[in-house]
Amino acid sequence: MSRALSLGLALLLAAAPCVALAAPAVSLDVDVSALPEDDVTEALETRLVEHQVQTLRDSGLEVVDDAGTRIRVVVSRYGDNDVHYRATVTLLDADGEPAEAERTLDCELCRDSELIAKVGEEIARLSGKVLYAPSSEAETDAKPEQDESGPEPTGSTGEQPKKLETLGYVGIGALVVGAGALGAGVGLALQPDEARLQGTRVERRSTRAPGFAMVGLGSAVLVTGAVLLTIDLVRRKKQRKVALIPTVTPSMITLGMHMRF
């Protein structure tokens, strides 16, 4: 009993680091051409780019130059003597068309740091749409192909199947634990960032990193539990044909077990 349990736990821990989630890619365009060409504008552009790139990365996105999805930020001024800032933020799809209506952010009599923080909040909101947007290509690739060339299963011998052994119960326990960790991880990953303005600095708190870690760990434990349970079922009745079919979607990883008699 104890040896089988130790074997199951060892397999769970060994499988955990094997799951990796690829971060979606996005490009960032910051346009300050409507502002005066001086050192102040150049410094504002640099700070805007650095802050928004960090915001996107903290949200779980990879920032590249040639991604299909783009976020465009256009900064201008308005009012008497151009005393107010205005920023227009737009999410563009792969065809360069707006994925949703652009947002105009007015910042009256605000400092550069306040404008940067305000744009950062909108960038964080859009990053959630990019991160959890459904991908038709990924769903198509994830559809399992039916194996029609497999050997025909043998008929039943009439023997009564034995009850699950220790390895099977360990597999069931791993399935339960993995599903719980996966659900908790998705919940943490879906929570929006908290942004707080501390003077001229913006403090951000995100639960996405631990959420993705729990999703990876839960997926690994879930797969391991299915493997352990399958091994036990195969031992019970070798004549059965057992097939594991993984299904991957943008929000979860599942493992189906198909048996033919």
Query: For residue 157, what are its two tokens?
Result: 């011998």
The stretch 34-44 carries a mean pLDDT of 93
Note the pLDDT of residue 151: 54
Set out the domains of the chain in order of their start, with CATH numbers: 2-20+136-142+152-260 (no CATH), 25-131 (3.30.160.40)
Note the pLDDT of residue 16. Answer: 46
- pLDDT range class, residue 142, cuts 50, 70, 90: very low
Q: Which helix (H) or strand (E) holds 230?
A: helix 208-236
Element (H, E) at 95: none
pTM metric for this prediction = 0.44
- pLDDT, tens digit (0-9, with 9 covering 90-100), for 59-108: 888 999 888 889 999 999 999 988 999 999 999 888 888 877 788 999 99
**Window from 59-68, 130-139, 238-247 with minimum mean pLDDT:** 238-247
Please indicate whether residue 98 or residue 119 has the higher confidence score (pLDDT).
Answer: 119
Closest CA to 222 of 258, 250, 190, 185: 185
Within 8 A by CB and 6+ apart from 205, the residues are 193, 194, 196
pLDDT at 7: 44
In which residue are the tokens 């410094």 written?
Answer: 43
3-state secondary structure of 90: strand
**Contact, 201 vs 49, CB < 8 A?**
no
Query: What band does 42 get if pLDDT is binned at 50, 70 and 90?
Result: very high
Instruction: Give the per-residue pLDDT at 6.
Output: 45
pLDDT tens string 188-226: 778 777 766 666 676 777 777 887 888 888 788 878 878
- Average pLDDT of the chain? 75
Could you give phi then psi for residue 80, rounded to 5 degrees? -65, 125
- Distance between CA atoms of residues 259 and 261, nearest Å: 7
Per-residue pLDDT band for 232 (boundaries 50, 70, 90) equals confident
> Alpha-carbon distance 217 to 16, whole Å?
5
Joined tokens for residue 4: 């089988």
* 165: pLDDT strictly greater than 90: no
Pairing of strands 84-92, 70-78: antiparallel
